[in-house]
Chain A
Amino acid sequence: MSDAIQSFEDGLARVASSFEPAFDACTDEASLRAANARFSGPSGELTQLLKLMPSLPGDRRKALGQRANEVKRAIGAALDKRLGALAAAARAADLEGPRLDVSLPGRRTPMGRPHPITSTIEELLDGFASLGFEVKESREIELAEFNFTRLGFPPDHPATDMQDSFFVKKPDGTVDESLVLRTHTTGIQVHEMLRRKPPMAVVCAGTVYRRDDDATHSPMFHQIDGFLVDRGVTFAHLKGVLTTFLRRTFGSDVPVRFRPSYFPFVEPGGELDIGCTFCRPWVEPGTEAQLKRTAECRPCKGTSYIEVLGCGMIHPTIFEQCGVDSEEFSGFAWGMGIDRIAMLRHGIRDIRMLYENDMRFLSQG
């Protein structure tokens, strides 16, 4: 009997003295858990001892059982402590470990880009929409009547020299003089005024076509046109609204120059120029650095100004052609080329780049 007690006590003492060194010897969690299993796992030494408990004499059983449980708790505590120490050591090692090559690329979700033409159109449309203009679209293959005649210039008017047009071919191969690729977005005036009664304020942007093809002219290009018709609209309103738009778009301090010009669908007609936004001659006027910057400025060719839009009071002929009473209503209209503005904004030197869709071009910026 004393043998059983003795052997139990020996076993307990062995476990009590060996688990700590054993745990301490473990340098990772796996070996630690294995070491723990050797003591308190299902077939561990302490577990085996506990299985012997029923064979111990009743008077000693309680005391021995308490001792065994103490050892078991101590093992558990030591395990937790050692696990904590290992985790702390691992974290410390990780914090001291090799540095990440932070220069490697990010795992990105690739993002595309808008075409320079489109982003310019959107910005300009937003500018006018914020001034209360409605955004409208119109067709590109247009009746000559809408593109020319109802805008006040018949196809044999010299002003059509400025707008050499593409005509559509009839199925029999002859020229259909009644259908053209629109040469401007100005036809939106005719469409909207025929559709409803003024007052109205509309802006329209889109693709237009003229028979020109060189480094500064593309046979297909883009325009934005707008107009406002209401009672009592004056030339001063034209100047006020368009100047506000230009300042909102190109900077509140940009100088605006207004000079007469001619477009067959307006009278009086004019052009608005803004101070060159590249050499910015108004910032430090007259200084040598400024003069040099302007003299060398490519976008304004040294003139300090950039032409941005043509405008004027809507010609009475258009009102007549569209059934609007020009005694009651007056209005103004303007148009601007988008390609050149896009080219200026993005530093594009050859207009043809805009339409080649070179991935290397489109993915820039």
Chain B
Amino acid sequence: MKASVRWLNEISGIEASAETIADKLTRAGLEVEGIERFGSGLENVVVAEVRGKRPHPTKDKLSLVTVFDGERELEVVCGAPNVPAARNRVVLAKLGAVLPGGVRIEAREIAGVPSTGMLASEKELGIGLDESGILVLEGSPKIGAPIASALGLEDSVLDLNLTPNRPDALGHIGIARELSVLMHEPFAPRVRSVPSRLLSDMPVPPSGNEGIPLLEGTTSPNETINMVSGQAGGLLAIPIAIEDGVRCPRYLGLVLQRATVRPSPFWMRYRLFVLGQRTIDAIVDVTNWVLFETGHPIHAFDLDRLVGARIVVRTARSGEVLRTLDGIDRALTTDDLVVADAQKPIALAGVIGGADSAVSAATTSILLEAAYFDPRSVRRTARRHGIHTEASHRFERGMDPRALPFVARRAATLLAQVADAAPSACIVEARALKITPTTIAVEPSYFGRFLGDDVPAPEARAILEALGCEVSPAEPSGWRVTAPTHRPDLSRPEDLAEEIARVRGYDRIPSALLARTPDATPPDPRPMLIRALRRGAMAAGLFEAVSFTFLSPKDLAASRVPTESIALANPLSEERSVMRTSMLPGLLAAASRSERHQTSRVRLFELARTYAPAEATGEYGVPVRESATFAILLAGPRDRWIGEAEPVDFFDGKGALETALAAIRLELTTVPDEALEVVAPYLHPRRSARVRVAGEDVGVIGEVHPDVVEAHGLTGKPIYAELAVDSLLAIAARMGPRTVDALPRFPKVLRDLAIVVTSDVLAADVARALAVAAGGLAEDVALFDVYEGKPVPEGHKSLAFRIAYRDREATLTDVRIESVHAAVLASAEAQFGARVRA
């Protein structure tokens, strides 16, 4: 919403700078986001009188105009087609003037004739959009006066960012009312028939319009008020029927005749211009003026284009089509509320008018609509048709149903003034539903109690009354507050408390702290464990990624991850239309981005959620499973001190996982599983494994399948792992506090054992068997070498272990060690067909 400070001043009588007003409004919740200045910088631009004109000696399109600038006569060369006759007043940019576009006016010759100034158009002066000709002034502003003061151009426009609860501030009267309350001034809106300084020498407006009588009637659905006037002169009222009283409780219609459609006067055009509204013609401009002034949308129909000269407010019938003002043919649904004539819809109620019934240059008779439409009804229709208008914006937020007569009369007055329209003798008002203002019962002491501040009752009352509330006593000791109908947001005591706090100023609210008893239940360990896991991942050299959780179904397929996913009904694009079922697509996209940017070293982890459809379970039955997931992706060279190293492999990934899990005191094993080809087809079938912690499967790890790598435009062999965080946390939470063993008192003895086994034997199995065979004497069995190749026979590998033997109760003798070591070797031979390496 844009607001003209000059207009606010005219309505409220409050003289204050734009900055002061902006600050007051912002601190009261009507946030001003910017201030734009108009009418400044027009020095040396003055009102001048045309004294005469003659053709240019050589150029047909130019004329030589003699003007009087209040001191002397000058001759200027002018190219405009609309130079008026003598005595008319125009705008002269004198020598030295600098126009808003940066044009500097200097004495120069135009086609051989000297020109000592320039006659300017609205556009050139930066005070309008008209560039079809020079600006010809209405009335008789003082000759020689600076244009800014003569036309009242100086203005500041506030850019208000209004919250949806304040429809009353969507017009200047409402903002002026608010301002008066904040400045502690009484408010009586001064809506002048014509803004004072801009008053031209228009004919005096037809008197009595402010008092056009209301022809009231109530109608229940399907009942028509029919009050056609048979008065001479054609002043008539047309019948109005409301079929859906809930969605349109009140509708006012006023007929105006003998209108002249012409451009509106400058004062009107200029104000609409500073508010960013295009001017069209006098009739449309008046409807916009009234919208910005009262905040209430009105609509003008060309009465002669209505069939049957009647209004029916009803829902659309199936199959009906309306061509709206924007030229689009809209198929209506039976939930759309329309304004119709005897035959067909002529407007989408409260949203946009129809093209066929719109006013045009040929219009002479107008049916003016001022109505209240239900916010939800308007909102549904506006959304359904994808239309957002000044009207729908306001109706959606709730207009003041009691303001309609004022609004209609105001429009009639202005139409009479600027379009010579003759209003009918009466306004027809159809009422389908009684308008009942909201009343709120509240005790005056409540405000202080709720706000935590001392709020004297008289002050609270004064604020509420200034805002338009009626405060009357109610039993036993309370108040009965009737909210004004222009404030649909006031319906509870809390709303009134906000008004009081707002007007007094939030800065006046004291700061208080409250004493609370700490909760005795132990805190949830989950957040701390997740944090520790994240630290572990960083200790493993991984950087945290945060990816979009929605992606394209193609991404899922290309990554070979589950494609059965949660899909969005209204995605922004196909690229972000389903919820991820795995972290892999996101991390691969990041890797491929890195590769495109010549950053081959990728070390990523992500700890967030994946999503899958599920049976609707639980109390509220949400058919979605959200799984906290920890994933890592490594690619590019291994880290080496200086220089490039060989690429990372499975064991770099496993090592990173080990480091990460160590942060929550978990140890993992990786075990082969042929089923991975089915459950994790995105991994390499021969270089992938289940990840197991405390005997539980918690996830998978492996080289990404080469097909998936290729599908992402990547090279190399990235390593990916994905673990179920909830499983990890459950295991971690089960573990008690860390316990320690006493330190050994007897020395250990190291013995090496190098054996040859077939390639398919798992080193971890051998190590475990050796430890078992040592019968509790092997403190540690560490693999220190793996070797394949000559002289080890093909299909075999050599494993070298260093075994630390220790008896915690005695010093080991050589004899005992030799016998145990022999038993260990024997077991390796027996279980794995191992041979001692030669």
Q: Chain A: residues with CB nearer than 8 A to chain B?
A: 104-105, 107, 109-115, 117-118, 122, 125, 132, 134-137, 139-143, 145-146, 156-159, 161-162, 166-171, 174-176, 179, 181, 199, 201, 207, 211, 213, 219-220, 230, 232-237, 239-241, 243-244, 257-262, 267-270, 313, 315-316, 330, 354-360, 362-363
Interface residues in chain B, defined as those with a beta carbon under 8 Å from any beta carbon in chain A: 26-29, 31, 163-166, 375-376, 379-380, 396-397, 449-453, 492, 494-495, 497-498, 501-502, 506-507, 509-514, 516, 518-519, 523-524, 526-527, 531, 534, 537-550, 566-572, 576, 579, 586-587, 589-590, 593-594, 597, 599, 601-605, 608-609, 611, 613, 620, 622-624, 626, 639, 641-642
Contact B568 A169 (CB under 8 A): yes
Least Cβ–Cβ distance between A324 and chain B, in angstroms: 15
Contacts of A107 in B (CB 8 A): 641
**Contacting residue for A199 out of B397, B516, B544, CB 8 A:** B516
Of listed A112, A330, A355, residue having the most chain B CB within 10 A: A112
State whether A236 and B511 are in contact (beta carbons under 8 Å apart), knowing that A315-B494, A359-B602 are contacts in the complex: yes
For the complex, give the distance between the alpha carbons of A290 and B589 in Å: 45
Contact B509–A236 (Cβ < 8 Å)? yes
- Report yes or no: A359 in contact with B641, Cβ–Cβ below 8 A: no
**Given contacts A220-B550, A234-B449, A261-B31, are A179 and B624 in contact (CB under 8 A)?**
yes
Shortest 6 CB-CB contacts between residues of A and residues of B: A236-B452, A234-B452, A260-B29, A268-B498, A262-B163, A357-B590
Least CB separation from A207: chain B residue? B549
Point out the residues of chain A lying under 8 angstroms from B166, CB to CB: 262
Give Cα A104–Cα B539 distance, bound, in whole angstroms: 23
Are B451 and A143 in contact, with the CB atoms below 8 A? no
Q: Which of A167, A240, A356 contacts B568 (CB 8 A)?
A: A167
Cross-interface CB contact of B543 among A135, A140, A359, cutoff 8 Å: A359
Q: CA A81 – CA B317 in complex, angstroms?
A: 118
Residue with the greatest number of chain B CB neighbours at <10 A, chosen from A107, A111, A170, A359 = A359
Are B541 and A109 neighbours in the complex by a CB distance under 8 Å? yes
With a cutoff of 8 Å between Cβ atoms, the chain A residues found around residue B542 in the complex are: 112
A268 touching B502, Cβ below 8 Å: yes
* A110: contacting residue among B376, B518, B541, B604, CB under 8 A: B541
Q: Find chain B residues with CB under 8 A from A110 CB.
A: 541, 603, 639
Contact of A143 (CB < 8 Å), options: B519, B541, B622: B622
**In the bound complex, how far is the Cα of B640 from the Cα of A110, in angstroms?**
10
B509 to A362, Cβ gap below 8 A? no
Pick the residue among B28, B397, B498, B567 that contacts A269 (CB under 8 A): B498
User: How far apart are A237's CB and chain B's nearest CB, in angstroms?
Assistant: 5
Residues from chain A with a CB closer than 8 A to the CB of B605 are 112
Q: Is the interface of A mostly helix, strand, loop or mixed?
A: mixed
B513 touches A237 (CB 8 A): yes
Given contacts A219-B572, A262-B165, A269-B498, contact A235 B546 (CB under 8 A): no
19 of the cross-chain contacts (CB-CB < 8 Å) are A112-B537, A132-B518, A135-B527, A137-B527, A166-B571, A169-B567, A207-B609, A234-B449, A235-B501, A237-B512, A241-B514, A260-B498, A262-B163, A262-B166, A268-B498, A270-B29, A357-B547, A357-B586, A362-B545
Q: Assess the A234–B512 pair: CB atoms within 8 A.
A: yes
CA distance A38 to B13 in the complex (A): 120
A residues in contact with B513, CB < 8 Å = 237, 240-241, 244
Contacts of A136 in B (CB 8 A): 524
Q: A141-B626, A201-B516 are in contact. Are A356 and B509 (CB under 8 A)?
A: no
Query: Complex: how many Å from CA A241 to CA B542?
Result: 37
Q: CA A132 – CA B516 in complex, angstroms?
A: 9
Give min CB distance, B62 to chain A, whole Å: 46
**A269 closest partner in B (C-beta):** B498
- A358 near B494 with CB under 8 A, answer no
Q: Are A262 and B492 in contact (CB under 8 A)?
A: no
**Across-interface contacts of A146 in B (CB, < 8 A):** 620
- Chain B contacts of A358 at CB under 8 A? 590, 593-594, 597
- In contact, B507 and A237 (Cβ under 8 angstroms): no
List residues of chain B with CB within 8 A of the CB of A145: 620
B603 lies within 8 A of A112 (CB): yes
Residues from chain A with Cβ under 8 Å of B537 in the complex: 112
Q: A112-B538, A260-B498, A357-B547 are in contact. List 19 more A-B contacts (CB 8 A).
A: A110-B541, A111-B539, A112-B540, A113-B543, A117-B546, A132-B518, A157-B164, A166-B569, A166-B570, A167-B569, A219-B576, A235-B450, A237-B512, A239-B510, A260-B502, A315-B494, A359-B599, A359-B601, A362-B544
- Complex alpha-carbon distance, A257 and B26, angstroms: 11
Determine the residue in chain A with the shortest Cβ distance to B166: A262
Q: Closest CB-CB distance, A252 to chain B, in whole Å?
A: 14
Cα A68 to Cα B601 with chains together (Å): 71
A153's nearest neighbour on chain B, judged by CB, is: B164
Q: Which residues of A contact B527 (CB under 8 A)?
A: 125, 135, 137
CB pair A316–B494 under 8 Å, yes or no, is yes
Closest chain A residue to B537, Cβ basis: A112
Q: How far is the CA of A234 from the CA of B513 in the complex (A)?
A: 10
Rounded to whole Å, the gap between the CB of A174 and the closest CB of chain B is 8
Residues of B within 8 Å of A159, CB to CB, are 164-165
Determine the chain A residues whose CB is within 8 A of the CB of B531 once the complex forms: 122
Q: Look across to chain B and name the residue whose beta carbon is closest to the beta carbon of A360.
A: B599
Contact A141 B622 (CB under 8 A): yes
Least CB distance, A123 to chain B, in whole angstroms: 12
A234 and B164 in contact, given A104-B642, A112-B542, A357-B547 (Cβ under 8 angstroms) = no
| Bound form: Cα–Cα A143–B620 in Å | 8
Cross-chain contact A168 with B538 (CB below 8 angstroms)? no
Report B281 CB to chain A, min CB distance, Å: 31
Q: Which residues of A contact B604 (CB under 8 A)?
A: 357, 359, 362
- Establish whether residues B379 and A112, one from each chain, have CB atoms under 8 Å apart when the complex forms: no
Measured CB to CB, the closest approach of chain B to A241, in angstroms, equals 6
User: What's the Cα separation between A204 and B545 when bound, in Å?
Assistant: 21
Residue of B nearest to A267 (CB): B494
